[in-house]
Structure 1
Amino acid sequence: MTADTTPDNPAQRRVEAILAELTGTGEETGVQVAAWLDGEVVVDAWAGRADLAGGRPMGPETLVPSWSTGKGVAAALVAVLVDRGVLAYEAPVARYWPEFGAAGKEFVTLGQVLDHTAGVPQLPTDVTPERLLDLPAVAAWLEGQRPRWEPGSAVGYHAWTYGVLLAEILRRATGRTCDQLLRDELAAPLGVSDELLFHVPDHLLPRLATCYDGGWAARLERMPAEAPFFAAVPRAVLPVAALANRADFRRTPLPANGIVTARAVARLYAALACGGELSGVRLLSEATLKEAAIGRASGVDRTIGIPWTMGRGFVVGDASSPPVRSPSAFGHSGSGGSTAFADPAARFSFALIKNRMTAPGLDSRLVHEVRTALGLAAA
């Protein structure tokens, strides 16, 4: 699909109408939506503003911080490296990073890091944004931490440490940084080198959207002070618009987060929805993809208190109501309402990326509208 080609079908027209309404009323600031079906683009829509102060419009190539939506991108990158024999899900992390195998973590595996059962979601209680973004220092601190539970025995969302751990594992195993690997192994083969990122290089900063709060910060602040969530995400580093707009945050390659376009992440998931290949480009084998996307760990999450099922870095299915993903679909959502996933049963992928951080809800609405317009079964 070229940049000047827009799908002409009921799904595209319905999404365009919804986005025009939401951005026109100010309920949303800027939104991008993309979807693929059976290897073809079926929705490519955008509306609103990337930046209110300057009046810059949201475009299809505007880069938007999408928070943990990037965890699914990181999971896909790891799957590619597993497929090539560079990494192994069952390998102890200490194989790649010997210093990590201390304080009861010698048998923690790469797979457990990905499915959030490793038991090390915690950060220092006095962490600041500056300390969080010093990734080597946080990685060194995690080396001395004991697991909060027996690794592999329970799911507990590793909100920030997922990214810190993967960044260090990838660097140790390959000699390349996570952003270099993302570009070389995923983004470039898919033709989206400047749209699928863990950080924003200086030359792309003019394309970056500003984030705005739409009630998300207050939602997090209302959580009880004793909630386990705050051990993993201390209040100083909550995923809110103010953090996303920091220059140091934007420039730090941290694979707990993604800075993407809906076009790019939907294209990635389209390849995964079609067995690992899209438009003649094979990213990984069907066997490795199946291993990555099958549910591995289920239960009520010890960090955030919701039930879900994790694959190797992907959330599998959906326990929310109404659901965003069908039972066999896999992907990841991010703070403030962004989401992306693949549904291999329907050979369908979907991405919603937006710069006003709100409670979830728009994701399930748009997925329902798109699936209905395309004649697909409900999620």
Structure 2
Amino acid sequence: MTDTDASAASSSSSPSGSSDRSIDPAKVDRLLERVQREVDEGLSPAVSIAVAHHGEVVVDATYGAPAGSRFLGFSASKALVAAAIWRMIDEGMVDIHASAATYIPEFATNGKDVVTVEQLLTHTGGFPWAPLGPNRWATTEGRREAFSRWRLTLEPGSAYVYHPTAGHWVLGEILAEVTGMDHADAIEELVTAPLGLPRLLGIPLDQQDGILDAVGVGTPPTADEMEEAFGISIDVGALIPPDVAIGALTTLNDPDARRIGVPGGGGVFRAQDLALLYQGLMANPANQWSHEALVEGTQRVRMNLPDIWGVPAGRTLGLVVAGDDGLSHRRGMGRMVSPRAFGHNGAGGQLAFGDPDTGLSVGYLTAGLDQHMIRQQRRDTAIASLAADLLAD
């Protein structure tokens, strides 16, 4: 039996200059039908979708788990770190052009003294696979000792290679250094609490009820499937064995990992938390950020180097902009958003974005980490496109 909590508003008011169109119930039904298929067809044990419009949640549904369940957001968590850094930029406590070692001296070793804060936020720091696991990540001393061992594998600023967690561990330590607080406490104080959101990173052990474990589902695509989809014959399963790929992600199921709050991927969310976070980034209701900081964080593309598939990155100071080149779906926001939409998705199919031109924001979470990357990308595009197109014609 599936517990479901679904709601759709028939209308929504809007501020001046924004869309004043109402939510179309038929479009909501199509979205919910598509989302529920993931559970009905056995592709995920549980999923959750939320859409907000001009500050109000207008769709909120969970399938395969009780309403209000929380999910790991993986890299959707990076928006929390970025938004906290923007606060520190506004306060003059962080300079994006400064070396990260200005704030964390232990990071200056092995040629890393040239890596800037901006490069950390745009994934051009040159150390994408630097290791940091449970044996060292529990304390600031352990983290910084690991930083001192890290070596560059690319020249900083020369290429865009996604840093799953390494760069955000450094950003988290910068937050701790300049605020005097644990990084997760700083994010709560600077970002989520002023927006009226619960604590989303660094969840105490006695507050972890209702958090779903993420599990691997499916199998990697074959080399023939990869060639048909991308024009490149790659045996993904041989390149990255499934137990390694899923094992790294499911480390974040551990209660201690959730308690510490891995900055690049350990956020714990309800779908509505993500939708409302992006409402906050669009409307700035608590005046947390200057206009300039939000432009740099949500609109101005500072780095457009190509990813491994040749798609220009569209990276701001921490997030991704949909762009007007017809590739918004390759950046995780489907095909129906405006060029000004921005967001940051997470591993396994987590979706999180907002569109200033429509006033809509979306959070989609799944407990099933699909190893078939082609199927996952097509699902991401389908769900994101439906969710971004809920306004009546």
- After superposition, residues 189-228 of structure 1 pair within 5 angstroms as 189-194=194-199, 197-215=200-218, 222-223=235-236
Alignment match, 1:264: 273
Q: How big is each residue's C-alpha offset from its partner over 1:287-316, in whole Å with a ceiling of 9 and x where there is no partner?
A: 1110122211122336x8764222111122
Which structure 1 residue ranges, 4+ long, deviate > 4 Å from structure 2? 131-135, 216-219, 224-227, 304-307, 320-323
Q: Deviation of residue 134 (structure 1)?
A: 6.1
CA contact (8 A) 1:23 1:30 kept: yes
CA-CA distance at 1:144 after TM superposition? 4.1
Q: Secondary structure at the match of 1:7?
A: coil
| Counterpart residue type for residue 210 of structure 2 | R
Q: Does 2:253 match 1:250? A: no
1:109–1:213 distance in 2 versus 1, CA, 3 Å: same
Alignment match, 1:362: 379
- What is the aligned partner in structure 2 of residue 295 from structure 1? 301
- Residue identity over aligned pairs, in percent, reads 29
| CA–CA separation in structure 2 for the residues paired with 1:34 and 1:356 | 17
CA gap of 1:310–1:238, structure 2 versus 1, over 3 A, is farther
Residue 52 of structure 2 corresponds to residue 39 of structure 1: no
2: CA distance, partners of 1:107 / 1:315: 24
Q: 1:343 aligns with which of 322, 330, 355?
A: 355
Task: Provide the residue aligned with 1:90 in structure 2.
Answer: 97
Shift of 1:203: 2.1
Helix, strand or coil at the partner of 2:390? helix
Describe the shift of the 1:238–1:28 C-alpha distance in structure 2 as closer, same or farther (beyond 3 A). closer
| CA separation of 1:145 and 1:205: change in aligned 2, threshold 3 A | closer
Change (3 A) 1:140 1:14: same
Is 1:150–2:122 an aligned residue pair? no
Query: Gaps (5+ residues) in structure 2?
Result: 11-24, 223-233, 371-375
Whether contact under 8 Å (2:86, 2:289) holds in the other structure is yes
For residues 239 and 384 of structure 2, the distance between their equivalents in structure 1, rounded to whole angstroms, comes to 35
Deviation for aligned residue 1:226: 6.5
Matching residue's letter, 2:236: M
Measure the CA separation in 2 of the matches of 1:305 and 1:123.
23
2:44 to 15, 21, 28: 28
The residue that corresponds to 1:8 in the other structure is 9
- Aligned-partner SS, 2:161: coil
TM-score by length of 2: 0.78
Q: SS in structure 1 opposite 2:51?
A: strand
Residue number in structure 2 paired with 1:54: none
Q: Deviations over 1:81-121 (max 9, x none)?
A: 22232322222212211232233222321111110111122
Q: CA offset at residue 182 of structure 1? A: 1.5
2:44 & 2:191 partners in 1: Cα distance?
30
Structure 1 residues 206 and 222, CA, compared in 2 at 3 Å: closer, same or farther? farther
Structure richer in strand, relative to its length = 1
Q: Distance in 1 between matches of 2:378 and 2:137?
A: 30
Alignment partner of 2:171 out of 153, 158, 166: 166
One-letter amino acid of the structure 2 residue matched with residue 297 of structure 1 = M
Q: How does 1:364-379 map to 2 (within 5 A)?
A: 364-375=381-392
Amino acid at match of 2:377: P
Cα 1:236/1:33, change in 2 over 3 Å: closer
Q: Secondary structure at the match of 1:42?
A: strand
**Match for 1:255: what amino acid?**
P
Amino acid at match of 2:205: D
CA 1:105–1:33: 2 relative to 1, 3 Å: same
- Residues in 2 aligned to 1:170 and 1:77: alpha-carbon distance in whole angstroms: 8
For residue 139 of structure 1, the aligned residue among 131, 144, 147 is 144
- Give the aligned partner of residue 78 of structure 1: 85
Contact 1:154 1:297 in 2 (8 A): no
1:181 CA displacement: 0.9
Q: Measure the CA separation in 1 of the matches of 2:42 and 2:386.
A: 21
Q: Is the 8 A contact 2:304 2:315 kept in 1?
A: yes
- CA shift at 1:80, angstroms? 2.2
1:178 to 157, 180, 183: 183
- Partner residue of 2:287? 282
Amino acid at match of 1:338: Q
**What are structure 1's unaligned runs of at least 5 residues?**
50-56
Distance across 1 between alignment mates of 2:378 and 2:75: 16
Range with greater deviation from structure 2 (95-104 or 65-74): 95-104
Contact 2:136–2:143 (CA under 8 A) maintained in structure 1: yes
**Alpha carbons of structure 1 residues 75 and 223: separation in structure 2 relative to 1, 3 Å:** same
Q: Name the amino acid aligned to 2:112.
A: K
Looking at structure 1, the residues matched to 346 and 145 of structure 2 have their Cα atoms a distance apart, in angstroms, of 26
Q: Retained in 2: the 8 A contact 1:33–1:46? A: yes
Give the match for residue 316 of structure 1: 321
- Counterparts of 2:379 and 2:387 in 1: how far apart (Å)? 12
Distance 1:321 1:205, change over 3 A: closer
| TM-score of the superposed pair, with normalisation by structure 1 | 0.81
CA distance in 1 between counterparts of 2:172 and 2:139 reads: 12
User: 1:48: which partner in 2?
Assistant: 64
